[in-house]
Amino acid sequence: MPSMQFGAGLPLTASNEPVQIRDFAQALDAAGFDYLTMAGHILSAEAGRYAERPTPTYAGPFHDPFVLFAYLAASTRRIRFRPNVLILPLFPTALVAKQAAEVQMVSGGRFELGVGISWSPDEYAALGQDFSTRGARLAEQVQVLRKLWSEPFVTFKGRWHDIQGLGLNRLPGQPIPIWFGATNTERPLRRVARHADGFVPLGPPAEPIARVRAYMAEYGREPSALALGSGLPAGPGGPGAWIEAARGLEALGITHVTITAPADLPRDQALARIIEARQALAGVLT
């Protein structure tokens, strides 16, 4: 079994100072982290608009992952980069294929794509996309992305795509893994089982992982081929508590652990806590 991978995420509303973000990524790179994720929307809304949701999840401002990861790739050596998640149905598929392939090239093969459908009909309306069909469109988009990354010129006719002999004509040097974030309901989990290279459950992981594995078996896919991600809070309990939590994730088959620090820690202390947790976990997990 491959060794467990350790990552960290940029805060949803990461610093407006590029040098601070660069320093954060470089510190993770030097500390042996395997990947860096970031989440966010294209558009922001005023605080208080969605009272049922935490303000940072929609107020922003958010960074663009392709631009930011290209910048960070130039100043790091080994750490990989993954949007977690890109709201794929908000974007033209060919544009995502192009941008992802370019980041893969300039980073030396260190880019992965995390996708999801998100929750905001207002953002879909603002970007001229249909909210009600976003799940089905995402499934078709993933098929098209893989063709655009593997064939110089593509012919594909689907419900939302009509490509006749066009393509990037410069293919990624290696496949770009596609991760899915999904809620614990049947249709999203079946999309994961059919299409995903990796899966990050949005909530407690045990039940959705079991269901996805069962669906994969239905579709003739080997469940062990799916990479699995989960968050691990580096809370005040210290290394003992972190290791116990990580052991539980390991038992579920989690392959990628994203370490987070408490939200109330200042930036420098949060970074130190994340690095401390990674060092504690890497010393005992396979």
Predicted pLDDT at 263: 87
Q: What's the rounded Cα separation, in Å, for the pair 13 and 263? A: 12
Confidence check: pLDDT of 1 > 50: no
4-27 pLDDT, tens digit per residue, is 999 999 987 778 899 999 999 999
Q: How many domains does the chain have?
A: 1
Residue 163 included in any domain: no
Predicted pLDDT at 239: 96
Q: What is residue 149's DSSP assignment? A: T
Report residue 260's pLDDT band, with 50, 70 and 90 as the boundaries.
very high
Predicted pLDDT at 278: 97
Q: Residue 9 belongs to what domain range?
A: 5-118+170-282
163-219 pLDDT, tens digit per residue, is 999 999 999 999 999 999 999 999 999 999 999 999 999 989 999 999 999 999 999
188: domain CATH number is 3.20.20.30
Q: What's the rounded Cα separation, in Å, for the pair 147 and 157? A: 12
Report residue 2's pLDDT band, with 50, 70 and 90 as the boundaries.
low
Verify cis geometry, omega within 30 degrees of 0, for the bond prior to 85.
Answer: yes
| Phi, psi values for residue 252, rounded to 5° | -80, -10
| Phi, psi values for residue 247, rounded to 5° | -60, -40
Residue 217 included in any domain: yes
Mean of pLDDT values over 219-244 = 96
Predicted pLDDT at 89: 98
Residue 137 included in any domain: no
52-76 pLDDT, tens digit per residue, is 999 999 999 999 999 999 999 999 9
115-151 pLDDT, tens digit per residue, is 999 999 999 999 999 999 999 999 999 999 999 999 9
Residue 155 included in any domain: no
Residue 268 included in any domain: yes
Predicted pLDDT at 13: 76
User: With b meaning 16 or more CB within 10 Å and e meaning fewer, what string describes 144-162?
Assistant: bbbbbbeeeebebeeeebe
Share the mean pLDDT of the chain. 95
Confidence check: pLDDT of 161 > 90: yes
Residue 159 included in any domain: no
Predicted pLDDT at 14: 78
Report residue 91's pLDDT band, with 50, 70 and 90 as the boundaries.
very high
Percent of the residues in the chain that have a pLDDT greater than 70, as a whole number: 99
Q: What's the rounded Cα separation, in Å, for the pair 56 and 239? A: 28
Predicted pLDDT at 25: 97
Predicted pLDDT at 286: 61
Residue 129 included in any domain: no
Greater model confidence, 263 or 24: 24
Mean of pLDDT values over 18-44 = 96
Residue 141 included in any domain: no
